[in-house]
Chain A
Amino acid sequence: MAIRSFFLFILFFSSSLSPVFSLYEDQVGLMDWHQQYIGKVKQAVFSSQRAGRKRVVVSTEENVIASLDLRHGEIFWRHLLGADDVIDGIDIGLGKYVITLSSGGSILRSWNLPDGQMVWESSLQGPKHSKSFLLVPTNLKFDKDNVLVVFSNGRLHAISCIDGEVLWKKDFEAESFEVQQVILPPGSDLIHVVGFAALSQFEMYQINAKNGELLKHESASFSSGFSGQVSLVSTETVVALDSTGSILLTISFQDGKISSQQTPISNLVEDSLGPAVIIPSSVSGIFAIKTDAVPIFIRVIGKGNLEVVEKTTHEIAVSDALSISEDQQAFALIQHASSEIHLTVKLAHDWDGNLLKESVKMDRQRGLVHKVFINNYIRTDRSYGFRVLIVMEDHSLLLLQQGEIVWSREDGLASIIDVTTSELPVERDGVSVAKVEHNLFEWLKGHMLKLKGTLMLASPEDMAAIQSMRLKSSEKSKMTRDHNGFRKLLIVLTRAGKLFALHTGDGRIVWSYLLRSLHKSEACQSPIGLNLYQWQVPHHHAMDENPSVLVVSRCGPSSDTSGVLSFVDTYTGKELSSLSLDHAVVQVIPLPYTDSTEQRLHLLIDADKHAHLYPKTSGALSIFKREFSNIYWYSVEDQNGIIKGHALKCKCTGEVADEFCFDTRDLWSVVFPSESEKTIATVTRKLNEVVHTQAKVVADQDVMYKYISRNLLFVATVAPKGSGEIGSVTPEESWLVAYLIDTVTGLILHRVTHHGSQGPVHAVFSENWVVYHYFNLRAHRYEMSVIEIYDQSRADNKDVWKLVLGKHNLTSPISLFSRPEVITKSQSYFFTHSLKAIAVTSTAKGITSKQLLLGTIGDQVLALDKRFLDPRRTVNPTQLEKEEGIIPLTESLPIIPQSYVTHALRVEGLRGIITVPAKLESTTLVFAHGVDLFFTQLAPSRTYDSLTEDFSYALLLITIVALVAAIFVTWRLSERKELQEKWR
């Protein structure tokens, strides 16, 4: 024991200052895991290459373009485009280039299919905004060059597939012309552009594909107008709906002549009620409409005769058509039955004959099928086989083949909205399956290998064995709580309305649950998840209860739609209950009180500024009433630039008596002048942050008291002109103002103006300091500033007696008119990179020094010691200050590559960084999410309270053996010497 503490002592003091987080390359994957996702697939194109590995190229709603392995679903390559660079269409040209059209049809890029290298990029402009289409004709050539046809921004382009040169372009400048389809009839050099003009005019343009010459322009007017999309049923026929959605218009433009036929839907379906919408599909001869959520398939026979072929009551999804031979087209249809999905592949001209009919068991937690993509292959017996790629409601991607799920990807995890954590169950008898080392021999062998590794004697195979042994360690992925608190569950809410529980040890999905309350229903049209809160964290009482989380969601995008609460057990992943609220949820305030079953009290503020208390139990109410006058909160109105403080007033004075509803009153408001300031960022301290000590001992035995208040709010405002992007304003007309506001009294404690600076502002608040990142236009560099706030009222309490008997701020009245005696210190530094996110490490007791975690624009996470952002830094610190650990002031903050938490990885599309304290004081758990997920453990001051992973037990054993041997040797020697003494 003594030896161990001696080691700890040495380890603690040998921790060097420079890069605190650093990793050897062979330690990758021991503490961290990284998962790559792509997001919900919008479009998929199968590569038809005969040789090589089968691929599928997909574009997603996260603006990712990726090439996936069709056999296993792994990512070959992937690119994340900019946030505004929404992908409109993808296709494969010449069998080796992936063509993407993005940014509303204004950027066309070509990527090399095998390795994802961009080949060329073209910018396409046009006279006006319009729908965009990307077509890759197989037979259209132009001087031996394959041509792409792109319609975007009201202009038709023909573009060379080799280098992206625009060969010709043709404008469609007619004011009201809205393009609906661009058609390339196979085997001809014509392009048909069809669309609507002036609401009731159908227009058809025939264009020579060789040179863009307008050959024919026909139009016909329909008095009843159009609504929605059109469906293309053949290269010369489209089907549209009239403006009431009750009459189908079959318009054909054979040989440039427009003819049409009108069929009321009621003629086809007897009991159709509501207006219909066309479901987009591209199967020739067949189209689908949907009335009252019932999909109906209609076949077009000859010139505009319609016939219903199928009317289903199940939820369905249809794929696009796939040409399997000269004149045959196949498509896939998926229908839901209770726990299965039925896949049928049909030929376009023969509805009743099925090429394939399969049933696949489907996890209910995946929801409905949203999209289907079909691909065929030739079996060994030369018949056609089909595989389909399906996109589910929870955004996952699955490949079905021969009635089985070949692979699946949980791409819902690419769009995480909120994260919280939950403890694992305590280890009890029978709960865990602790794996002991199998036998002594294996154990010895393992240690021999490790010893060889340390002595650099190991062969490459041995090294691989050691590495896999370390990574496999079952210890970290056990399903029970551990002593150090490293093993937890990360509960994440995704945009698809699904909850996932990820194990921190290896990142595997423990359970997932598609929230039923987030399903579309009549009462709740477009439900969206908002936030996750820890609802019940049992520790003292109610130990037998499972912990649970609260999911707050609402029924629409605007904040006044009614809310929905769901409570989910974090051990089992089952929904305990859900509540449809009759009020909106504008703000959720977790209160620092729990009831007798450890359920946390939450206050929900609705749109009418009433506060509702949850859980609705009498116990909670009595606790709440006790703390009634101590509850304050604030609200930020971004548009008006007002920050308001609120408190509770009395019970609701509505007709219905509701004892859990309370009226509120406004306490104070801070109004920013709208002509000179616009709020862009507000940050508070984390609710669960622990501060170890208020006192800070500075160099000359002096004590400073941190001003620690949970009610401090950091607000950053910029000049309205400067709220745009960089480069839109000059330094003279832009400024940034930072405020520290007390949210109980509304008092502005500190205000500082940075002239010539602008947003975006990323800020983090912890203890008594705030660090914020913004752009300095004068230097044209990013800057980071720190503000530290100290309590002066206790500054005289220098020794213990004064501390006990001296002045406290506890007794001073809380009022707007009694200004607390505080001083602030601040300093600014340059920082190289743009930021996407900022966070600070948090530990169990708050003793360990802090590190800032900066999510850089390159999607990496950099750990920066807080000591670099210390306002007491000076150019030449005195000896005393140096001893205290003050770093000499430099103009810019250092970027040490070894302190990248994500080492050589990227968390593509980084959106947020979450830190969770482990039980071990030195360690904090870091979870970074974006399109990718990354998790690691950090020890901001090294692991001073436990042995590190690379601690060599073998060396310890050798040392002990050597010590014992030495003891014996010296004992022999001393014995002999004693004998000689005696003989003398």
Chain B
Amino acid sequence: MAAVTPLLLLLLLSSAPSFSSGSRNAYNINGRVKIPQGLGTKGYALPGRMSNVKVLLNGGQNITFLRPDGYFSFHNIPAGTHLIEVSAIGYFFSPVRVDVSARNPGKVQAALTENRKGLSELVLEPLREEQYYEIREPFSIMSLLKSPMGLMVGFMLAVAFLMPKLVENMDPEEMRRAQEEMRSQGVPSLSSLLPGGARN
């Protein structure tokens, strides 16, 4: 869809004063949005459809769309400092500050506002791709073990198998004393708690 020609990018940043009503001169801002191939092909969907990209001037005062080759233009813009934003689902574009000079027509300066990088030509490229969804981790034993239930089972197993080991390592004298203490106190053993254990 709308292959971006990897040709030499012409400097299309002209701002020849065009005819307009009134005495005030009005200019055109021409530029290009370039979404590198390869970006957008991975991930969940192919959002790189050029037809859904919008270019907005000064917070929505003017809105324009891209031609198949990615070029766009704003007509009849007064001299001054403007802000161009690109809205494209799946990509993050930095807004661009564009100075249209009245004193020497034809001179336009542009800079990305996010990183203050100057642009020699008005070619807008996404700073990064935007991934709107969390990626589901593939099934793994570790994730199962890390889940609360996994931790519980793990803890229980640890108790079941490590505790007897601990008990074995104990001093036999001490253990006997402890056991006798337990019996005398009549602490119900695990077996008596279970319905099967009660019968025995």
Query: CB within 8 Å of B: which of A311-357?
Result: none
Q: Is the CB of B83 within 8 A of A780?
A: yes
B82 at the interface (CB under 8 A from A): yes
Count B interface residues, CB 8 Å.
73
Question: Which of the residues B82, B152, B190 comes within 8 Å of A974, measured between beta carbons?
Answer: B190
Q: Is the CB of B87 within 8 A of A966?
A: no
Question: Which of the residues A80, A83, A117 comes within 8 Å of B51, measured between beta carbons?
Answer: A117
Q: Is the CB of B132 within 8 A of A834?
A: no
Query: CB within 8 Å of B: which of A1-26?
Result: 6-7, 10-11, 22-26
Question: Which of the residues B64, B76, B136, B190 comes within 8 Å of A971, measured between beta carbons?
Answer: B190
A781 at the interface (CB under 8 A from B): yes
Q: Is the CB of B60 within 8 A of A832?
A: no
Q: Is the CB of A726 within 8 A of B83?
A: yes
Residues of A within 8 A of B136 (CB): 24-26
Q: Is the CB of A726 within 8 A of B148?
A: no
| A-B contact list, 6 entries, CB within 8 Å | A726-B82, A727-B100, A832-B94, A897-B132, A956-B149, A968-B196
B173 at the interface (CB under 8 A from A): no
Complex Cα spacing A857 to B56, Å: 8
Residues of A within 8 A of B197 (CB): 971, 975
Closest to B54 in A: A858
- Contact A904/B82 with A125-B20, A833-B95, A962-B153 known, Cβ cut-off 8 Å: no
- Contact A115/B51 with A23-B134, A79-B65, A859-B87 known, Cβ cut-off 8 Å: yes
Q: Is the CB of A833 within 8 A of B85?
A: yes
- Contact A121/B65 with A832-B114, A859-B87 known, Cβ cut-off 8 Å: yes
Residues of A within 8 A of B44 (CB): 25, 904
Nearest 5 interchain pairs by C-beta:
A858-B87, A123-B75, A897-B130, A82-B63, A727-B80
A697 at the interface (CB under 8 A from B): no
Closest to B191 in A: A971
Q: Is the CB of A117 within 8 A of B80?
A: no
Closest to B136 in A: A24
Q: Is the CB of A904 within 8 A of B45?
A: yes
A970 at the interface (CB under 8 A from B): yes
In the assembled complex, the CB of B123 is this many whole angstroms from the nearest CB of chain A, namely 18
Complex Cα spacing A7 to B152, Å: 10
Q: Is the CB of B148 within 8 A of A6?
A: yes
In the assembled complex, the CB of B131 is this many whole angstroms from the nearest CB of chain A, namely 5
B160 at the interface (CB under 8 A from A): yes
What 0/1 readout, one digit per residue, does chain B (1-38) give for beta carbons within 8 Å of chain A? Answer: 11000000000000000111100000010000000000
Q: Is the CB of A906 within 8 A of B95?
A: no
Residues of B within 8 A of A779 (CB): 113
Q: Is the CB of B63 within 8 A of A903?
A: no
A177 at the interface (CB under 8 A from B): no
Complex Cα spacing A725 to B59, Å: 9
Q: Is the CB of A128 within 8 A of B21?
A: yes
Q: Is the CB of B139 within 8 A of A454?
A: yes
Interface centre among A860, A967, A968, A971 (most CB of B within 10 A): A971
Complex Cα spacing A822 to B51, Å: 53
A748 at the interface (CB under 8 A from B): no
B120 at the interface (CB under 8 A from A): no
Task: Known A-B contacts: A116-B51, A123-B73. Give 12 more (CB < 8 A).
Answer: A84-B61, A117-B68, A120-B67, A456-B138, A779-B113, A897-B132, A904-B89, A904-B132, A904-B133, A955-B144, A966-B160, A967-B194
- Contact A727/B153 with A904-B132, A975-B191 known, Cβ cut-off 8 Å: no
Q: Is the CB of B191 within 8 A of A903?
A: no
Interface centre among A85, A123, A836 (most CB of B within 10 A): A123
Complex Cα spacing A955 to B151, Å: 12
Closest to B64 in A: A121
- Contact A955/B147 with A117-B68, A857-B60 known, Cβ cut-off 8 Å: yes
B90 at the interface (CB under 8 A from A): yes
B47 at the interface (CB under 8 A from A): yes
What 0/1 readout, one digit per residue, does chain A (417-434) give for beta carbons within 8 Å of chain B? Answer: 000000000000000000
Closest to B127 in A: A832
Residues of B within 8 A of A782 (CB): 95
In the assembled complex, the CB of B60 is this many whole angstroms from the nearest CB of chain A, namely 6
A543 at the interface (CB under 8 A from B): no
What 0/1 readout, one digit per residue, does chain B (85-112) give for beta carbons within 8 Å of chain A? Answer: 1011110101101001000000000000
